[in-house]
Amino acid sequence: MKLFLDTADAAEIRELAATGLVDGVTTNPSLAAKTGRDYSESLKEICSIVSGSVSAEVLATDFDGMLKEGRAAAKIAPNIYVKVPSTWEGMKACRALTDGGARVNVTLCFSPLQAMMAAKAGAAFISPFIGRVDDIGEDGMGLIRDIRAIYDNYGFKTEILAASIRSVSHVREAALAGADISTIPADIFKKLMSHPLTDKGLAAFAADAKKANVTIKV
């Protein structure tokens, strides 16, 4: 499974990209607002840090506006993916942008049928918001599994990008459910390698080595 960072903070992205484990970035206007920077300039910097896909969300909700903003966003860098919403206007924009050579991430997906329509419209990514689905008492991971089944049934190439990740267990469950990608807040990304038994084992190894005066010549 590919791992994306869900942030517009260039410093966070630069820090975690240094691990070699960041495959891409998703952004949106809400995340960009937290940085206080111009959105387009922020996207340019992020695209210079990460060679993988960087999702840039349109602000317009009508077809003409999404098409205009999407085309402008796609020109920022070769690795930009345009984010449009799971609406009829978004589907029209997805098809038009895709036909024009842009890659599209259809966001705010909450149902398997929305995901099917996005795939038919040519979306590169579909972004089901699993945390928000859980918030209304439904099954976010069930949504991932349903989309996976539909896509596999019909050979759709659209990648499932699990969004609205709230915990490390969400990442694990999304991988088991068949998501192609998880987009993860930086604080959760940093916890992916954490386990108390690893810490305990390392402490024991260090203590034993010190006691036995074990060293490695370099």
pTM comes to: 0.92
Which residues on adjacent β-strands are paired with residue 104? 82
Q: Is 158 left (phi over 0), alpha (psi -120 to 50) or beta?
A: beta
- For residue 81, the one-letter residue type is Y
Q: Encode pLDDT of 150-203 as tens digits.
A: 999 999 999 999 999 999 999 999 999 999 999 999 999 999 998 889 888 888
- Residues 50, 25: contact at Cβ < 8 Å? yes
Q: Encode pLDDT of 49-74 as tens digits.
A: 999 999 999 999 999 999 999 999 99
Structure token pair of residue 8: 């517009």
pLDDT at 37: 87
| Residues acting as catalytic residues | 83
The matching CATH number, chosen from 3.50.50.60, 3.20.20.70, 3.10.180.10, 3.40.50.300, for 2-212 is: 3.20.20.70
- Residues 180, 161: contact at Cβ < 8 Å? yes
